[in-house]
């Protein structure tokens, strides 16, 4: 919400119009008498005053654009000199400081009326930072003083800061920021402003009054921060300066007037629109603070009340909103009403809100089908809305903002992205397909965006609740059955030539990972586990096969089409992702693929997922930020193997560490059992010669895994010992030749510590010892047969 659009409550006639108040004060120079400061006979400021008087005479009228730019540059330079002279001023100089400060401010105001800043964004950006450098250079020390002004210089500097903050707030709206703008150069200034506002809010008694000579400086700072935070790209710098924590502390002052509370609430709203800001605000219990503020009935301004509801929507998950349904429908009514009103208003602004602001909230809420259904079918608006009206509203808005894309305006492009995501959400519901496909112009735009998005959209921040317009356009066309067919796409697009040959020769199953990028770190852990089975499986994941952003959906669709198993990592973020939802629908509804759901914690499963994946066996991981537990790793890998289509398992030994049939050994083995006296008895001795003529002492870890699987020995025993070579196994076999019971007593406690919920059973350990003794005998028998290469 822009502060230029602030609304005055009827009960608070002038309190909230901060900008207008400052602008009015600019016309009235302030003459201040400071006791104890005597006049100097000769002012060292007179030379500067003469320069300013000459400048004043030259600026009675504006002329060409270039001349106006030069005048503004001169005014900034002279203002800098005026600040520098503040410490040398005497009582008689104060009048002239007021006059000439007014001259340099009036130059800005007159040029601002010409629309120069809106027409030349590069120039407005340059001047914004020139003015900000003035504040950075001269204002920090003044702000750092917690006490009230007590010298003539303090009064002059503070009055200059009022005007400068107003100019910065005004100019901020015309600036297109880039990521590196608010660098460390301004970090001290941001910190000092934060501390100054905090101290003033703690020490000020707030009363509704319009008799102040000048708007308090802290309110001017809040106004500037409101404008600055409206640029989402700046939010990380404000968070780094500690504003996430402090704005919540400011909100806790329940005695704030609406005039003071309004910029604070707007700063909170602007921070909440950024994912990092929402995360930071939630760390400091923003939701609870806002609810307490509402329960105290200290807020009367309807705009602030609506902002509070939008903040709560941005900070809450859809499940949290459903769990606290009080007033939810009223919020949804208001959001849609703002969008309806703003759609026909000048510059798409209504009641202080740009249309993009309610749209962003709706994008997030539409991941919940119940919320979506209410907005589409039951919302109470004026004029009354219905599905046809609402679909037409969003479609026509998208067409209007599509026409503005060549202008490269960040706000208008961001609005187009939000509308694309809303229509994507609508396209998931078949009941609205006819309404969408009948809109020929809309369909043409979606086709164009899907093909040429990189030429239309400038790069900018997009929250995680939204996807870029190409993904949205691809998703809409896919859901409507109008996408480019992937059925005819050949396998070489999926693999490199070498990978394709290997895949065809080995006939290994292809496993695809479907996940939300928010869970990338956990996905990397799963990918590492699957890579250990590269001899058994081929793996498809977007980060390896989608090298550019231009064909992401096409690449993912090919991956889905060619996969034999899809492992979907299900989290709250996955359930809220339209892209993930599209992958599941395509894989299950159209191709009937196999799934292995991997749940992170216990997310509340959405109906669209549950109806498709309820039949499949799943694996659940808790505390995913910690190293994976070995028993869960075993469970996961064995479940992967079990989930592979059966046609692969006989040919490729897919039973892995548990049920694989090894070519190293004969199928007949020696089995020993425990007799009642505790000794081992051998049953059915067999020939012990390796078919491949490979020495036990030459075994690799793969051979060792085969041996454990062949003898059906508990994999937890294998992992507890972690043998690396056959030689280690033979050496250990010698150690346990006559004292297997002592070894059991020694290792049972270790086993219990390693696997807290499992017990090392004696018969399982005895089976391991029996097989190990057999192996030692093989080694001796093999040596006697003439192998001298051990």
- Domains, the chain: 44-159 (no CATH), 316-483 (no CATH), 491-654 (3.40.50.10140), 661-784 (no CATH)
Own/partner pairs for 450-456, CB < 8 Å, 24+ apart?
450/474, 450/477, 454/549, 454/550, 456/405, 456/406
pLDDT band at 36; cut points 50, 70, 90: very low
Residue among 101, 226, 78, 239 at smallest CA distance from 157: 101
H/E stretch holding 353: strand 353-354
Average pLDDT over residues 267-272: 96
- Compare 688 and 210 and report the one with higher pLDDT: 210
Is pLDDT of 387 > 70? yes
CB 328 within 8 A of CB 337: no
Question: How many Å apart are CA 443 and CA 452, to the nearest integer?
Answer: 14
Residue 714 binned pLDDT confidence (cut-offs 50, 70, 90): confident
pLDDT tens-digit profile of 41-82?
A: 345 678 888 888 888 887 777 778 898 899 999 999 999 988
- At residue 337, the pLDDT reads 93
The strand pair at 510-514 and 671-674 is best described as: unpaired
* Distance of alpha carbon 124 from alpha carbon 103, whole angstroms: 20
pLDDT at 374 over 70: yes
Selected residue with higher pLDDT from 61 and 7: 61
**Once rounded to an integer, what is the mean pLDDT over residues 478-505?**
53
Please check the confidence at residue 403 and state whether its pLDDT lies above 80.
Answer: yes
Q: Which of 11-20, 26-35, 435-444 is predicted most confidently?
A: 435-444
H/E segment holding residue 615: none
pLDDT score for 418: 95
Q: How much is the average pLDDT of 312-327? A: 73
The average pLDDT across 500-516 equals 74
> Of the candidates 146, 129, 78, which has an alpha carbon nearest to the alpha carbon of residue 106?
78
**pLDDT score for 244:** 95
Reported as a pLDDT band with limits 50, 70 and 90, residue 207 is low
Give the per-residue pLDDT at 32. 39
**Ramachandran quadrant class, 621 (left: phi over 0; alpha: psi -120 to 50; beta: rest):** beta
In sequence order, what are the beta bridge partners of 570?
Answer: 599
User: Is residue 416 over pLDDT 90?
Assistant: yes
How does the average pLDDT of the chain come out, rounded? 79
- Residue 12 clears pLDDT 70, i.e. is over it: no
Query: Is 90 exceeded by the pLDDT of residue 21?
Result: no
Length of the chain counted residue by residue:
790
Which tokens in the block code for residue 356? Answer: 């993009």
Of 166 and 297, which is predicted with more confidence? 166
55 contacts 78 by C-beta, under 8 angstroms? yes
Residue corresponding to tokens 């002592």? 742
List C-alpha distances in Å: 651 to 145, 536, 660, 746: 79, 10, 11, 41
pLDDT score of 17: 38
Question: Which range, 204-218, 736-750, 775-789, is most confident?
Answer: 736-750
Q: Is the pLDDT of residue 212 over 80?
A: no
Residue range 723-773, pLDDT digits in tens: 878 877 887 787 776 667 777 887 888 777 777 667 787 777 888 888 888
pLDDT of residue 6: 41
Q: In this structure, what is the dihedral angle of CA atoms 139, 141, 146, 147, given to the nearest 10 degrees?
A: -90
């Amino acid at each position: 919400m822009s502060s230029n659009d602030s609304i005055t409550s009827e009960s608070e006639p002038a309190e909230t119009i901060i900008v207008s108040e400052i602008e009015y004060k600019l016309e009235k120079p302030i003459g201040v008498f400071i006791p104890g400061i005597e006049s100097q006979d000769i002012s060292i400021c007179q030379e500067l005053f003469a320069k300013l008087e000459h400048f004043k005479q030259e600026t009675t009228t504006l002329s060409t654009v270039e001349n106006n730019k030069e005048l503004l540059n001169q005014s900034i330079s002279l203002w800098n000199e005026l600040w520098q002279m503040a410490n040398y001023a005497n009582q008689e100089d104060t009048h002239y400081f007021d006059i000439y400060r007014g001259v340099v401010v009036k130059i800005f105001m007159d040029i601002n009326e010409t629309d120069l800043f809106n027409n030349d964004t590069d120039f407005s950006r340059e001047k914004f930072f020139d003015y900000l450098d003035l504040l950075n250079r001269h204002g920090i020390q003044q702000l750092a003083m917690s006490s009230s002004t007590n010298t003539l210089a303090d009064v002059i500097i503070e009055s200059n800061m009022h005007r400068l903050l107003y100019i910065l707030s005004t100019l901020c709206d015309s600036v297109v920021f880039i990521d590196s703008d608010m660098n460390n150069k301004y970090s001290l200034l941001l910190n000092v402003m934060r501390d100054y506002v905090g101290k003033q809010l703690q020490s000020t008694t707030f009363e509704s009054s319009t008799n102040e000579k000048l708007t308090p400086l802290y309110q001017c700072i809040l106004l500037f921060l409101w404008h600055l935070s409206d640029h989402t790209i700046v939010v990380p710098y404000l968070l780094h300066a500690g504003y996430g924590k402090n704005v919540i502390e400011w909100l806790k002052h329940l005695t704030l007037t609406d005039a003071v509370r309004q910029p604070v609430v707007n700063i909170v709203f602007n921070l909440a629109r950024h994912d990092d800001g929402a995360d930071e605000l939630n760390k400091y219990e923003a939701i609870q603070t806002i609810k307490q503020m509402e329960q105290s009935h200290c807020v009367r301004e309807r705009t602030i009340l609506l902002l509070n509801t939008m903040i709560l929507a941005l900070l809450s998950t859809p499940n949290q909103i459903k769990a606290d349904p009080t007033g939810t429908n009223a919020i949804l009514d208001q959001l849609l009403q703002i969008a309806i009103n703003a759609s026909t208003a000048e510059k798409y602004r209504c009641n202080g809100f740009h249309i993009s602001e309610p749209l962003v909230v709706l994008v997030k809420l539409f991941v919940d089908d119940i919320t979506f259904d209410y907005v589409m079918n039951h919302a109470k608006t004026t004029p009354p809305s219905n599905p046809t009206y609402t679909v037409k509203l969003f479609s026509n808005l998208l067409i209007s903002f599509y026409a503005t894309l060549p202008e490269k305006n960040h706000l208008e492009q961001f609005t187009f992205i939000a509308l694309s995501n809303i229509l994507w959400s609508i396209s998931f519901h078949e009941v609205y397909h006819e309404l969408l496909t009948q809109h020929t112009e809309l369909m043409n735009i979606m086709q164009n965006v899907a093909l040429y998005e990189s030429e239309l959209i400038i790069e900018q921040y997009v929250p995680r609740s939204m996807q870029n317009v190409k993904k949205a356009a691809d998703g809409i066309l896919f859901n409507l059955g109008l996408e480019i067919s992937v059925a005819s796409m050949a396998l070489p697009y999926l693999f490199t030539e070498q990978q394709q040959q290997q895949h065809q020769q080995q006939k290994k199953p292809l496993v695809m990972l479907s996940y939300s990028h928010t869970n990338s770190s956990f996905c990397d852990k799963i990918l590492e586990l699957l890579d250990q089975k590269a001899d058994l499986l081929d793996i498809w994941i977007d980060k390896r096969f989608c090298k550019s952003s231009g064909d992401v959906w096409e690449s993912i669709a090919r991956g889905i089409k060619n996969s034999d198993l899809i492992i979907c990592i299900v989290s709250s973020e996955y359930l809220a992702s339209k892209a993930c939802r599209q992958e599941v629908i395509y894989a299950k509804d159209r191709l009937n693929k196999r799934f292995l759901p991997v749940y992170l914690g216990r997310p509340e499963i959405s109906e669209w997922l549950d109806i498709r994946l309820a039949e499949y066996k799943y694996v659940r991981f808790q505390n995913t930020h910690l190293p994976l537990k070995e028993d869960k790793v075993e469970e996961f890998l064995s479940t992967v193997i079990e989930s592979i289509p059966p046609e692969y398992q006989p040919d490729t030994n897919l039973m892995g560490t548990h049920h694989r049939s090894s070519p190293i050994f004969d199928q007949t083995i020696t089995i020993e059992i425990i007799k009642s006296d505790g000794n081992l008895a051998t049953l059915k001795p067999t020939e012990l010669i390796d078919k491949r003529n490979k020495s036990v002492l030459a075994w690799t870890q793969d051979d060792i895994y085969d041996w454990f699987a062949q003898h059906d020995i508990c994999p937890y025993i294998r992992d507890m010992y972690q043998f690396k070579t056959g030689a280690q196994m033979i050496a250990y076999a010698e150690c346990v030749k006559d004292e297997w019971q002592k070894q059991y007593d020694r290792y049972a406690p270790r086993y219990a510590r390693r696997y807290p919920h499992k017990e090392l059973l004696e018969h399982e350990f005895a089976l391991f010892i029996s097989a190990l003794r057999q192996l030692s005998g093989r080694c001796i028998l093999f040596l006697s047969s003439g192998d001298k290469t051990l």
